[in-house]
Every structure is written in structure tokens, then in C-alpha cells.
């Protein structure tokens, strides 16, 4: 036995303390998971079939109200699905066809057709959703918005050229 050994009193104190912390953590875990967000199965949050590739002409912006996104087809034929929620403070951003850009009514943030910021205060481009094209049908996964600091080539999905 050395002087550094833990006395019985100290051991019990630490044991009690550890048990208390453990119990509190368990109770906290139960409460937190009880209140954790419930995923409601429905239109938004799942995979949405937007339609056939041909129904979206290049240079078009099609709003999907239930899915809360815009399906954008760039003039070069690339698809990108933009979450309509402004990256500044969460307002619903409408497409302004006359000016060819998204303009947020809340704080005047403006975005290009591909989601890139033209006008602050928005700190980053509009979030996008993953797109897959199967058998000529565009499908958008609205489960997780993908954040990006700038738009880049990986954002766009192209339909396979069918001969």
C-alpha cells in the first residue's frame, strides 16, 4: 500500500458520483431520444419522382411545392434540384422568371439559376438534393439537403444520351 492509494471513503465518494453521473446521463438520453425529431413519412423527406427527362426543357425552372424544391435544368442540359429554403434565415425563395434569378422576399438575398449567391446576406448557395436519373425518369431524394460553399460541376446530373 502506498500513500497514493484511494481510501475507502474516497472510493465510495467516487463510486457514488460516477453512479450519479451515469444515472443522469441515462435519464438525459431517454428524454433526448424521446423528443428527437420524428420523421413523418410523406411527400417531403422521401424520394420524389419528378418526371421524364424530356418534360424539362433546357433552361427551365420547375417548382415542386410538395417536395419543397425547384428542379432546374441548365441550358447545357444538366439537372440540379434546389431546396427552396433560403440559406440566410429560412424563408421560401420564389423563382423570378423576369429577372432569371431566385430572389428572397425576406432579406433580398438573390441566387443564380444554379443556386449560386448573387446578392448577400445569404452566406452560401441554395442547398441541393441528390438526383438520380433512371430509365429517363428524374428522381429527387429530399431526405437530406446537401450544403455547399460554391456551386461546382459535381452538382449537376446529366441524362445519358440514348441513341
Query: Which residues make Cβ contacts (< 8 Å) with residue 87, sequence separation at least 6?
Result: 109, 117, 122, 123, 124, 125, 126, 127, 147
Helix locations, 75-160, DSSP H: none
Question: How big is the site for other proteins, counted in residues (CB under 8 A)?
Answer: 26
Q: Tell me which residue of 94, 91, 96, 38 sits closest to 65, measured CA to CA.
A: 94
Instruction: Give the one residue of 89, 100, 136, 152 binding other proteins; rule: CB under 8 A.
Output: 89
Instruction: Give the one residue of 48, 72, 104, 131 binding other proteins; rule: CB under 8 A.
Output: 104
Instruction: Give the one residue of 108, 136, 146, 158 binding other proteins; rule: CB under 8 A.
Output: 108
Q: What is the distance between the terminal CA atoms of the chain, rounded to a whole angstrom?
A: 85
Segment contacting other proteins (CB under 8 A): 7-15, 81-89, 128-136, 150-158?
81-89
**Residue 91 in the binding site for other proteins (CB under 8 A):** yes
**Residue 88 in the binding site for other proteins (CB under 8 A):** yes
Minimum CB–partner distance for residue 140 and other proteins (Å): 15
- Identify residues 56-75 at the interface with other proteins (CB under 8 A): 65, 68
- Identify residues 117-146 at the interface with other proteins (CB under 8 A): 120-121, 123, 145
| Angle CA 75–81–87, to nearest 5 | 110
Q: Tell me which residue of 135, 122, 125, 110 sits closest to 155, measured CA to CA.
A: 125
Minimum CB–partner distance for residue 86 and other proteins (Å): 8
- Report the alpha-carbon distance of residue 132 to residue 146 in Å, rounded: 14
Q: Tell me which residue of 109, 94, 100, 59 sits closest to 80, measured CA to CA.
A: 59
Q: What is the binding site for other proteins (CB under 8 A)?
A: 32, 35-40, 65, 68, 85, 88-94, 104-108, 120-121, 123, 145
Amino acid at each position: 500500500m502506498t500513500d497514493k492509494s484511494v481510501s475507502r471513503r474516497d472510493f465510495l465518494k467516487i463510486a457514488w458520483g460516477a453512479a450519479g453521473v451515469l444515472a443522469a446521463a441515462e435519464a438525459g438520453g431517454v428524454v433526448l431520444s424521446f423528443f428527437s425529431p420524428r420523421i413523418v413519412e410523406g411527400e417531403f423527406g422521401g424520394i420524389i419522382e419528378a418526371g421524364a427527362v424530356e418534360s424539362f426543357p433546357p433552361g427551365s425552372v420547375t417548382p415542386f411545392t410538395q417536395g419543397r424544391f425547384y428542379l432546374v435544368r441548365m441550358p447545357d442540359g444538366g439537372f440540379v434540384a434546389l431546396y427552396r429554403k433560403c440559406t440566410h434565415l429560412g424563408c421560401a425563395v420564389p423563382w423570378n422568371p423576369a429577372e432569371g434569378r431566385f430572389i428572397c422576399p425576406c432579406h433580398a438575398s438573390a441566387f443564380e439559376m444554379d443556386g449560386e449567391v448573387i446578392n448577400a446576406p445569404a452566406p452560401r448557395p441554395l442547398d441541393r438534393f441528390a438526383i438520380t436519373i433512371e430509365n429517363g425518369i428524374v428522381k429527387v431524394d429530399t431526405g437530406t439537403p446537401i450544403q455547399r460553399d460554391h456551386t461546382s460541376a459535381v452538382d449537376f446530373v446529366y441524362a445519358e444520351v440514348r441513341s
